């Protein structure tokens, strides 16, 4: 509870930006559907899942709109003077007609939304939680992307040669697992329906994964056509080299 209660930087900065005008003060819902959150940690496959979900007839959004820098930019563009107004305009401006606008959310952003009473604007909250079974692969992917600033295959990034750092990868494994545990704990504490799927399941059987999300949302997506995603897998020989080195050094550390 001590870890969860501390929240995160996005809540701190958003409170400051809106000068405390962050909580929904209304008495009834603004939207006629639940708030759908794509809960994730970095390099878990959330961008791939979001890309698929946006091609369905029921969802739009699922970008990282809750990051404070994005909130600042879009709030200024829309003249949103409170955080609830930002949420409302996000759906009005960015959502496609007839679709539900969802948000990507880290564990601390899920907590932030509840502290700001944003769920009261919706007909409940439903969480689509994606994790990655291969924690080491996820940590290495983040370790490399953090250095190159190439977070998706669509981005150019920096022309740098990533440097292996055992301690950083080790930290990222722990942080990723802590994030997944925090999301699950928050869903339990706040009574949020949670659907869990893995990146590996999504890659192996993408259509089945998307149909599962549809069932979770109470929608029949059996007519949905699987299309090639806009983003591609980024892992290459460098990831394999970092993995082999980490495994070798980890074994040496554990068996000394």
pTM of structure: 0.92
Check residue 154 and give its pLDDT. 66
Could you give the 3-state DSSP secondary structure of residue 135?
Answer: helix
User: Is residue 228 domain-resident?
Assistant: yes
Q: Which CATH number belongs to the domain containing residue 91 in this structure?
A: 3.40.50
Domains contained in the chain, number:
1
Question: Do the domain assignments include residue 143?
Answer: no
Contact 33, 123 (CB under 8 A): yes
Say what the pLDDT of residue 158 is. Answer: 80
What pLDDT sits at residue 18? 97
Residue 205 lies in a domain: yes
CB 34 within 8 A of CB 122: yes
Q: What is the pLDDT of residue 159?
A: 80
Parent domain of 71: 2-133+181-235
**222 inside domain:** yes
Is residue 231, in this structure, part of any structural domain at all?
yes
Ramachandran category for residue 220: left, alpha or beta (phi over 0 → left; psi -120 to 50 → alpha): beta
pLDDT below 50 — which residues of the chain? Answer: none
Does residue 158 form part of some domain?
no
Residue 244 falls inside a structural domain: no
Answer whether residue 117 is part of any domain.
yes
Task: Give the Cβ contact number of residue 78 at 10 Å.
Answer: 15
Q: What is the pLDDT of residue 56?
A: 96
pLDDT digits (tens, 9 = 90+) for 44-65: 999 999 999 999 999 999 999 9
Question: What pLDDT does 236 receive?
Answer: 78
Beta strands in the chain (DSSP E): 35-39, 59-63, 100-105, 125-131, 194-198
């Amino acid at each position: 509870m001590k870890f969860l209660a501390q929240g995160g930087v996005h809540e701190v900065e958003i409170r400051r930006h809106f000068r405390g005008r962050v909580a929904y003060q209304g008495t009834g819902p603004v939207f006629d559907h639940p708030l759908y959150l794509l809960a994730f940690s970095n390099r878990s496959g959330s961008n791939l899942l979001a890309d698929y979900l946006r091609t369905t007839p029921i969802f739009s959004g699922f970008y990282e709109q809750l990051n404070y820098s994005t909130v600042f930019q879009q709030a200024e563009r829309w003249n949103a003077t409170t955080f609830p107004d930002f949420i409302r305009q996000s759906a009005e401006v960015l959502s496609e007609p007839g679709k539900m606008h969802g948000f990507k959310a880290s564990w601390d952003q899920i907590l932030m939304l509840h502290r700001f009473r944003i769920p009261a604007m919706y007909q409940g909250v439903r969480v689509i939680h994606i994790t990655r079974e291969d924690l080491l692969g996820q940590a290495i992917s983040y370790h490399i992307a953090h250095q190159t600033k190439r977070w998706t295959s669509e981005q150019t990034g920096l022309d740098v040669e990533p440097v292996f750092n055992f301690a950083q990868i080790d930290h990222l494994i722990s942080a990723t697992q802590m994030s997944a545990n925090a999301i699950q704990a928050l869903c339990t504490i706040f009574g949020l329906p949670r659907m869990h799927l893995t990146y590996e399941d999504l890659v192996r059987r993408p259509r089945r994964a998307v149909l599962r999300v549809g069932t979770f949302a109470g929608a029949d997506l059996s007519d949905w056509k699987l299309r090639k995603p806009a983003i591609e897998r980024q892992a290459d020989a460098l990831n394999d080299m970092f993995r082999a080195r980490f495994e070798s050094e980890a074994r040496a550390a554990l068996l000394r």
